[in-house]
Structure 1
Amino acid sequence: MDRRTLLGIILIALLTTLWALYTSIYYAPRVPLDTVRPQLKGAVPEETVKREAPPTIPERWIEVETDLLRIRLSSYGGTLTHWELRRYKDWQGKPVQLIPIGERELWIAYYDAQGRRVDTRRLPFIPSVASDTVYRVSGNDSLVIRFRYALDSVHSIERWYVFHGGRYDVGVGIDFVTGDGGGVHQRYELIWTGGLKYQEYNSVDESHSASVQISLAGDLETLDAKEFDRAVETQATGRIDWVGLKIKYFAVAILPLPRPAEFTVLARGQSFHAPNGGVVKRYDVTLRPLSRRGGEPHVFQVYGGPLDYDLVKPYELTAMVEFGLRWLVRPIGEYFMLPLLKGIHWLVPNYGIAIIVFAVLMKLLLHPLILPQLRSAQRMQLLAPELQKIREKYKDDLQAQQRELFRLYQEYGINPMSGCLPLLLQLPILYALWAVLNYSIELRQTPFMLWIVDLSVPDRLVTLPFRIPLFGFNYISGLALLMGVAVFLQQRLSVTDPRQRWMVYVFPLLLTLLFSAFPAGLNLYYFTFNVLSIGHQLYLTRFRKKKLTLEDLKRQPKREGWLMRRLREAQALAEEQAERLPPSLARRLKIEQPKPAKQQKKKRR
């Protein structure tokens, strides 16, 4: 690995992992976030809400268990209080529960005849099935549970839920009816408050992904609540496709049926401090229908499950899966890298081994881009003694030094910048790779071998009794340490300039600390890729039968590229400007001025 390649990797690491450096500070022992229940100020204006007196009818519970979900409904407001994913665990080993403790989701607020906004979360709805009972739905079966609340002797609110045995979505219906069953036009809002309950150990990392997304006529709008001192909000009105709340690996999305539908969506969010330096983002989302066709009920499809690309694709929610920058990086990750990784895993049922095979394939695919870098590094290594002689000879005259270096490059047909363009072409690929390995739920809580028990989080080989300054964490990643050793070996092979010897020791140490905050799956890929690069470099420099020499470089055909031509023109311009300087100023700046042509001819005689 030459200097430019290493600097490029460091640049990518800095650009894509500032969050990792920041979040690593918070790997202290955690207090469960169940105890953190911040409320958004002003989410529901107090002066507009008519709060009913506590009901005299006791609250009743209905629990529905499907093949994938365990959901609890409350008779108060006909709301959801529990949405559990049976096949996924949180960082404490408990089933993933998406609804924050104490919240009642998908609740209704309607406006009475006086225009007052009425909160229905404490109103006793009457269920259509027996309460305090667990209902089981499996396979292709479905179950409908209805709730009804009488507004007066004539009007009432009806809402219902449709559960399916093998799906992560639930059907939701809302209707305002008269005594004869006819629909009425009623202003109301469907609301989700409090966001989603966090599931990962690192709350800052989870907050990095927590957001609200609104799909409006195919355009995506994202609300990211980064502010601590105030709430941020957005509003979208028009043909809504869906509204989603997401964290790193899970999401809840509300899809009006049929899609798109005319709604106004209000989203509001704010960041809050959590115990031990953590961060929690809370969001409130309100859907307000703009019209009601002939008093027909409103029907929604609510998805609550993992951000698995194949699972959310039928719901047209793939935009919620993180792949990086949408205009360039996302297509690479979405249509190439993720399918390739899943295809390898289909053949090799171990994601650790699949990542190793994936790294080998990526090494082969990137070979046309990497080879110019290696060749450039090899040529610069051959030329290093000559470069050092010029630097020593003209150490007091930088202009003369640059002129002689340029002449040497021309003599041997070397472009010192030839490895930069291939490196730049790799940057979108590296970023897409980082996004795929960092956000793929397939790697979540997936073990590999030895101390690597979860490919989605840093692998802790050694726990230190202190926190590393600047980085903030108190452990060393085993895979990051192995990668640091690999980088050290690469530097020993490629760095010949005495002025760059410090890179041999400093960069591996820096990368070890930097990559210790990376998920184990990502470090496993980088380690494998670097080992393959070492083998390739050894072949070119030591084990190849016909080794490249300076004489070979001289005999090779010389092609002046665009960059070398510009460098030559810049050098000529600099010499021309140096000729125009007064001799006294040139001596003061230590610039050697070309001698007049007559003096050169006399000297030749």
Structure 2
Amino acid sequence: MEKRVVLFLVLSLGIIFGYDLLLKELGYSPFTTSPIIDQEERTTSLPKTGTEAEITAPTSSEPHSISSSIPSSDGPFITEEVVVVETPLFRAGISGRGGVLTSWELKKFLTQTEEKIPVELVYTNGQFPGPLTVQVKGGEVETERLRQGNFQVQKDFDQLDAAHPSGKVVLTHSSPDSDIWVQKELTFHYDSYVVDILIRTRGISGDLDVLLGTNFGVVEWGQGFIGLLGSAWKVGEELEKQSPDAEEPILRRDGPVRWLALQDKYFMSVFIPEDADGLFSKLETEMVVSAGMSLPGGSGEQVHKTKLYAGPKQYDVLKSFGIGLEDTIDFGWFIYGSWSIVKGVAKPLFSVLRFIYDYTNNYGVAIILLTLGIKLLFVPLQYKSYKSMQGMQTIQPKVLALQEKLKDNKEKLNLELMKLYKEHKVNPVGGCLPMVLQMPVFVALFNILYMTIDLRQAPFMLWITDLSAQDPYYVLPVLMGISMVVQQKIMPTTMDPTQAKMMM
């Protein structure tokens, strides 16, 4: 028994210490980011907000009005430039080329790299069209015009704050050699990651695909066992996902789309449309996923409404939409068939953890207190397990005697053992069953600590500055190994063979 424990500890420590070395050998980093362009280069390349971002705008302090039709020729147009929208929560870049998002930096969340710069959600390498690209189904020429064409950009605000809580950016494209006209009206809010979007079209006979983007919201994939989660959606009431290793590279779903998301463990982008009648998800290359929604077209003017959320996967925020977005935080992950049980335990535990945090203001302390509370709740079960093991120790000599006497008659041995257990009112698995009952709770706690963004870059004490990252000095894993050895030393050494096999 002790040899196996020592072997287990040696192998565990080998895995822990060898994990980083293996990743480096394979060319990865434990905190690898999505293969986007250099974050510092992107940050410095964005125009500044205010007058520098709107160099063609008049100097009047009055906000510019925006109509639902094509902006007038004297409006503040920005062509093939990037206009910046800045709020207390994020900083977004919008290009007049294609009328797409080129950047979406989250101010309150920093990268896991040494530079600690704002997290960038938009994946940009020039190969894939950007978020909000409009494509015409079956119309390659029209699609190329909309991708590469210039959109006139009109912005009715300089900055968003409590005094000016919302503002609009309108992007309008009118094809000079066709009847195609597309307008995207984006309404931003200073205190929200949500953008209200109106898409107006004319002269398009076919249906449309509006791209959520490629890896838009996928930031960090090289962390732990799960990493990048890819795309997810709800058509009707059914939640579906496409992971980067899915067998089908392209998926299409028809029906009323409740929402469509691209996500990793901590961040996501989501379309919440009003009238989308289908969607697609496509694996472009390894670890690169694209997604978009389908909208009905028509030669007359069409108006489509949708919401865009691009930000952290915070449970309360996602739940507030009331459409099941919180289910993208997979608290139920464990083994096949146990998802609902673990999830049912995880949600109350998560609520208790945050309740404790409200008083301690330290998630490390909150985790310790929650763990102690769970242990106290299980004291009756542990006591019952201990009593069962004591009972088995008491009859151990009789068990051994029967095994020696009836070693050639297994059937009779089993019958005699059952009589012996019944006579002394002991259960051979009674010491193990309580531990099995505790498993969903501790698996649920593991899932909470692994999946929730609340712990990302949350400090504890001393050298532990990020509870979502591994211990940089491996102090805690070593202490855990020592504590396991101590526990094995103080546990009863005499055990029924049935229990011993289960414990091993």
**What does 1:144-223 align with in structure 2 at a 5 Å threshold?**
144-152=168-176, 155-177=180-202, 187-196=207-216, 198-200=218-220, 203=222, 205=224, 208-223=227-242
CA distance in 2, matches of 1:252, 1:482: 39
Distance in 1 (alpha carbons) for counterparts of 2:461 and 2:257:
46
- The residue type equivalent to 1:70 in the other structure is R
Asked if structure 2 preserves the Cα contact closer than 8 Å seen for 1:81 and 1:102, the reply is: no
CA contact (8 A) 1:329 1:432 kept: yes
Measure the CA separation in 2 of the matches of 1:23 and 1:251. Answer: 27
Q: 5 Å matches for 1:312-391?
A: 312-316=318-322, 317-324=325-332, 326-334=339-347, 336-388=348-400, 391=403
Cα offset, 1:114, TM superposition: 9.0
Q: How does 1:91-490 map to 2 (within 5 A)?
A: 91-92=112-113, 93-102=116-125, 104-110=130-136, 117-118=143-144, 120-129=146-155, 135-139=158-162, 141-152=165-176, 155-177=180-202, 187-196=207-216, 198-200=218-220, 203=222, 205=224, 208-227=227-246, 232-257=249-274, 261-269=275-283, 272=286, 281-290=287-296, 295-316=301-322, 317-324=325-332, 326-334=339-347, 336-388=348-400, 391=403, 402=414, 405-461=417-473, 477-490=474-487
TM norm structure 1: 0.64
Question: Match of 1:480, as an amino acid?
Answer: P
**Alignment check: 8 A CA contact 1:157 1:177 kept:** yes
Contact kept in structure 2, 1:64 and 1:70, CA below 8 Å = yes
One-letter code aligned to 1:306 = P
Q: What is aligned with 1:52?
A: none
8 Å contact from structure 1 (residues 380, 416) kept in 2: yes
CA spacing shift, 1:22–1:319, aligned 2, 3 Å: farther
What is the CA distance between 1:297 and its match in structure 2? 1.2
RMSD: 3.7
- AA of the residue aligned to 2:86: E
The answer to whether the 8 Å contact 2:207/2:298 transfers is: no
1:195 deviates by: 1.3
Aligned with 1:64: secondary structure? strand
Verify the 8 A CA contact 1:66 1:137 in the aligned structure 2.
yes
Q: Which residue of 2 aligns with 1:61?
A: 82
Residue identity in the other structure for 2:249:
V
User: Conserved in 1, the CA contact under 8 Å of 2:392 and 2:496?
Assistant: no
Give deviations 1:66-107, integer Å, cap 9, x for gaps.
Answer: 010100010101100101110001111121111113352221
The answer to whether the 8 Å contact 2:217/2:311 transfers is no
Structure 2 unmatched runs, 5+: 38-77, 334-338
Partner of 1:496 in structure 2?
Answer: 493
Q: How far did 1:450 drift?
A: 3.0
The alpha-carbon deviation at position 287 of structure 1 amounts to 1.2
Instruction: Classify 1:76/1:21 alpha carbon distance in 2 versus 1 (closer, same or farther; 3 Å).
Output: farther
In 2, Cα distance between the equivalents of 1:74 and 1:420?
62
Go from structure 1 to structure 2 and tell me whether the alpha carbon gap of 1:114 and 1:207 turns closer, same or farther (over 3 Å shift). closer
| SS in structure 2 of the partner of residue 297 of structure 1 | strand
Aligned to 1:438, the other structure's residue is in SS state helix
**CA-to-partner distance for each residue in 1:292-341, whole Å, 9 max, x for gaps?**
7984411211001111101212223212222115533223212x111110
Count of residues paired in the alignment: 434
Unaligned runs of 5+ in 1: 38-56, 179-183, 273-280, 462-476, 508-605
Alignment of 1:565-584 (within 5 A): none
CA contact (8 A) 1:185 1:295 kept: no
Q: Find the aligned partners of 2:342 and 2:160 in 1 and give their Cα distance.
A: 41
Amino acid at match of 2:121: L
Q: For 1:12-51, what aligned pairs fall within 5 Å after superposition?
A: 26-28=22-24, 30=28, 33=33
Local SS of the residue matching 1:121: helix
Does the Cα contact within 8 Å between 2:218 and 2:268 map onto a contact in 1?
no
The one-letter code matched in structure 2 to 1:187 is D
The AA in structure 2 aligned to 1:170 is V
Q: Give distance in 2, aligned partners of 1:24 and 1:119.
A: 47
Superposed displacement of residue 199, structure 1: 3.7
Secondary structure, in 3 states, of the residue corresponding to 1:120? helix
Cα distance change of structure 1 residues 22 and 163 upon mapping to structure 2, 3 Å threshold: farther
1:368 Cα deviation from its structure 2 partner? 4.0
Distance in 1 separating the partners of 2:97 and 2:302: 24
Q: Which residue of structure 2 lines up, in the alignment, with residue 565 of structure 1?
A: none
Q: Distance in 1 between matches of 2:487 and 2:191?
A: 51
Aligned-partner Cα distance in 1 for 2:431–2:20 = 33
CA distance in 2, matches of 1:25, 1:237: 45
Task: Between the two structures, name the one with larger relative contact order (CA 8 Å, sep ≥ 6).
Answer: 1
CA contact (8 A) 2:259 2:271 kept: yes
Contact 1:226 1:271 in 2 (8 A): no
Whether the 8 Å CA contact 1:225–1:270 is kept in 2: the answer is no
Q: 1:186 & 1:135 partners in 2: Cα distance?
A: 37
**Separation (CA, whole Å) in 1 of partners of 2:313 and 2:448:** 12
- Whole-angstrom CA distance in 1 between matches of 2:492 and 2:484: 12
Range with greater deviation from structure 2 (368-377 or 303-312)? 368-377
Separation in 2 of the partners of 1:58 and 1:382? 87
